[in-house]
Amino acid sequence: MNSSQSHKRESRKIGFHELAPYVRLVQHIEGDDRYRLPPRIIYDYELIYVVAGHCDYEIEGADYPLAAGDLLFMPPLVRHSCTVPAGEKFHYYAVHFDLAYMGESFDFSVDEVYTSHDYLHAPYIPDEPELTDRPVVRLAEVEFPYVFAAQEPLVCEALLRAMYRVHGSESYGKELQLRADMLSLLAVIVRQLATPSGISKRHPQSERIQQAVQWMKVNYRMPIQLADIAVSVHLSPSHFRALFKEATGKSPMEMLLVLRMERAKELLLHSELSVGQIAEEVGYADLHYFSRLFKKSEGMSPVQYVQSLRPKFR
């Protein structure tokens, strides 16, 4: 089955607040030019960090050479293969994981699916039909390229080394440590790929999008429409909205809401202003509308938010 075929599978995006990686397999592999990975697809995510040597990946028909210090981020159901150039060696850590645990019915045995194949001699790895309809969960805030150089290589290697050690142990609660280390590793990568405002550094319009976010940070107290933000960076509203969504995973108005709610939470905890005054301070003349937006964003009313957290800051 070609991975480009349409599968009747669930696909959804989750945010950072829902991210709870489930680590299924951690590997530490050293090989030479006899190493090969026949064409295959996988059914969860795989993250590889190259410690030493070189290898050549082919992903959906395109070539991606990897060298020491490179990371490879392989999503589910993407056709790929790998070889090592003649005379070269290859040393890497790899982790297979889901962005969130999807339940026992969607779990699978790595021994049956990944580690039991004859990778050295098989012309290709057959697809697992019962897994091709497995739900695909993606991260909303950032898009990972297939291959990129690690900006913090020592940190990446140390985290993967620790995960490999824990994964092979019988220690109680190792799932928690694996999740914690995987979250730390993803946080390192996200910091590398996106600005503090959540804008992809790889996006060709990232500078213009950052200017728009900065404009919102300065003017969030004012009544703002999409056209106001678009004008600030000299784009039409429709074009700007499309670019902004592509670069950040949020619409401009969703980003404005995030900025306003963050400021509102600061004022609720660290000022003596009333809720009505805080609503006006962050750009909402209607107290009830502000309260509805706040509850939708935070899961509780402004008053409940203060009651739940403010004593900790006294």
**Cβ count near 74 (within 10 Å):** 21
- Average per-residue pLDDT in the chain? 90
**Does the domain at residues 206-313 carry the CATH identifier 1.10.10.60?**
yes
Compute the average pLDDT of residues 291-303. 92
CB atoms within 10 A of CB 219: 15
Q: What is the CATH topology of the domain spanning 11-193?
A: Jelly Rolls (2.60.120)
SS (H, E, C) 132-180: CCCCEEEECCCCCCCEEECCCHHHHHHHHHHHHHHHCCCCCCHHHHHHH
The pLDDT-based confidence of 1 (bands split at 50, 70, 90) is: very low
Residue 2 pLDDT > 70? no
pLDDT score at 11: 79
- Whether 311 has a pLDDT exceeding 70, the answer reads no
Q: What pLDDT was estimated at residue 9? A: 63
Mean pLDDT value of segment 44-55: 95
Cβ pair 71, 49 in contact under 8 A: yes
Token digits of residue 228:
């106001």
Domain boundaries, the chain: 11-193, 206-313
Model confidence at 3, pLDDT cuts 50, 70, 90, reads: very low
Decide: 124 and 38 in contact? Cβ < 8 Å: yes
Of 265, 248, 271, 272, give the one whose Cα is nearest residue 301. 265
* pLDDT tier at 13, thresholds 50, 70, 90: confident
pLDDT in tens, 117-148: 899 889 999 999 999 989 999 988 888 999 99
CB-CB contact of 14 with 100 (8 Å): yes
Across the range 235-244, mean pLDDT stands at 90
Per-residue model confidence as pLDDT tens digits over 248-274:
888 999 999 999 999 999 999 889 999
Q: What is the pLDDT of residues 177-209, one digit of tens each?
A: 999 999 999 999 999 988 877 777 777 788 888
C-alpha to C-alpha distance for 268 and 76, rounded to whole angstroms: 42
Evaluate whether 186 touches 19 at the Cβ level (below 8 Å). yes
Q: Are 273 and 281 in contact (CB under 8 A)?
A: yes
Token digits of residue 193: 């790929």
Q: Tens digit of pLDDT for each residue in 88-121?
A: 989 999 999 999 999 998 999 999 999 988 998 8
Separation CA 274–CA 230 (nearest Å): 32
Nearest to 255 by CA among 192, 297, 286: 297
Instruction: Assign 296 to helix, strand or coil.
Output: helix
pLDDT exceeds 60 at position 28 = yes
Mean pLDDT for the stretch of residues 228-237:
92
The model's confidence at residue 312, banded by pLDDT at 50, 70 and 90, is low
Tokens of 271: 């000022």
Question: Please, which residues have CB within 8 angstroms of residue 131's CB and are 6 or more apart in sequence?
Answer: 43, 108, 113
Taking the whole predicted model, whether its pTM rises above 0.85 is answered as no
**pLDDT exceeds 50 at position 4:** no
